[in-house]
Structure 1
Amino acid sequence: MDGTQFLKGDILIVDDTPDNLRLLSTMLIEQGYEVRSVTNGSTALMGIQAQPPDLILLDINMPGMNGYEVCQRLKANSKTESIPVIFISALNEVFDKVKAFTVGGVDYITKPFQVEEVLVRVENQLIICRLQAQLLKALQQERQLNQQIEAMATLEERHRIARDIHDSLGHALVALNIQMETALTLWQINPEQAYEFLQEAKQLGSDALKAVRQSVSEIRSDPLQGQLLEKAIATLTQEFYRTTGIPPECQIDLSYPLSNQVNTVVYRIVQESLTNICKYASATRVQIQIQTTAEGLLLVIQDNGKGMSIDSSGYGFGLQGMRERTANVGGQLEITSEPGAGCRITARFSRLAV
């Protein structure tokens, strides 16, 4: 391998058959992976402790300590529990798939090896690891930004910028997490569909990282990016449907023009509401009504989720942000909810504000 070639990942192969080690090592090294090989479980555990790999290919039937036992020990150790393990088994061997996944395996490969299958299964698991690392990095950067925000001189400015960061990143990060969870759920029953979810999650992860880096510089920009409100709301609802499978029922009638300020507030309320529903509501139905009249504008967002207890001192940061935004343009916002009875958010803006 050319020394300048990019190493795609560090892989440890554990197999007591030298021919298998040579075959797997060769095919993976040719694809740009860094590969280590050992022939028994105890040696593998020592090597993993000293230098944790990105992925482990683990033979099940080995003398002394079998693959199940090795995997159980890895998952019982906080330092190694997150390392993905792909089991290796021959077609003529007894392979307990249920046990393999119960002890912590993420996939399996059968002998004789098919090069294309090995490479696809290895890369898919590494993609999942990279996405998880991206999500963690995004969350860490968001925390760092929030810490910087809290260090600013004025409390009002601090809260305003924190709210904008929350609005712009919350939905993307929730969507990314849902895509990854769906992919992991589908992995064994429909790998092709799971791979599609992973590709979408990868794009969402890239978008979230980009948003984190740009959030401070773009904090005062127009969130609609010059779009009409109807189109911007349609984009939010499409993304919500893509990540939750729930198609919001939308009734939008903007017969009267709105000011840019009210457009922004309406957009932010819908965005925050959908994010909260996605994260907390466990809803199966969502309704959005936006209607302008000669008297002003009415916005209603309602879901049939698990609801919550409402009191004057119990509003979360997102709901409090809705109230502040609405009040800043002279509107009124009402939140009606009870445990088990869904949630209804109603915002009214007078004609003067609109």
Structure 2
Amino acid sequence: MSNGKILCKRCKKSFISIDNYKKIVNIIKENNLYQFQVYYSLCPICRPRYFSEFMVGNELDKVVPCHHGIKRRKEVFAPVKKDNRLGTIVYKTECFICNQGCDALVHVKNGQVVLVEGDSSSPITKGILCCKGLASKDLLYHPDRIIYPMKRIGGRGEDRWKRIEWDEALDTIVENLKAVEEKYGRDSIVLTTGTNRGWVRYFLRFANAYGKQWIGPGIAQCFYPRMTGQILVTGSNALENPHYDETKCMLIWGCNPTNTWPVKGMGMMEARSRGSKMIVVDPFFTEAASKADIWLQIRPGTDAALALGMLNIIINEELYDKEFVKRWCFGFEELRARVQEYPIERVEEITWV
């Protein structure tokens, strides 16, 4: 759904975010609640839009459901069963390594995580968990994991460190911030973080308290450019939610979802088993390429030339939806002129395909 328009038939029963907001406001008024937080979670079916989770304290109190009516349990992170085979207590949760949030089961024994596996009861991920999620226990307990402040005692590149107390670490940071600020001014300091996760609110609060406007919460380098590009080119950011159950041909370009995005890869493989054709564009022989009907092993860095060559054929042979182009597209004639510079012979020379 975008700007009130239904783009996906699976969203027929959905409602736009303003309705979610009104429902939440009514809950606040009816219950006289002031200490609350609202979290927006991606729809667990196709993740094209959000549904709202209304939090009171640490307990999930109300859920404005997505169009499929899936509601998160109140007993989130509560143990769901015992595994007598391993002698563990099993917790149902999600993997937070990436934004997909695959459903996972965590086995705990004597207060220690002993196994992380996919949740086969999940209607979405169906027990699939990528290698990163499966290795999360090893990341948690790896001997090289840094869990205390460490101070460099040698020169850069010598890899000599010593453990220090938190108070000393915080004092050192404050001293360095003050020194840089006094010498170069406050605007010389830039605060950045990695991929946006739940703790980013504390990072932003620190930046606010410090009076910093130069901040980078991670999403500016990853999520926002991707969404902005999709909206500018297609008018929607729902490109990452294809209908694998209906597609007859898939073009996988420069990615390997069977390894890096198993939920997507699962949908692709199911479509493949139903007879859908698969075309893979990648310099590397990936797992997706091994299952493709056509593998275009282009020369690295020549993706744009291949795309322009494809457009050359599509436009010159009039294989496009003329009515759609006439109604919705801008700059089409300029594009038509540009792709004439990329006949199939030139594209072959550039891409080696």
Question: Is TM > 0.5 for Structure 1 vs Structure 2?
Answer: no
Normalising by structure 1, report the TM-score.
0.23
Normalising by structure 2, report the TM-score.
0.23
Considering fraction of residues, name the structure with more helix.
Answer: 1
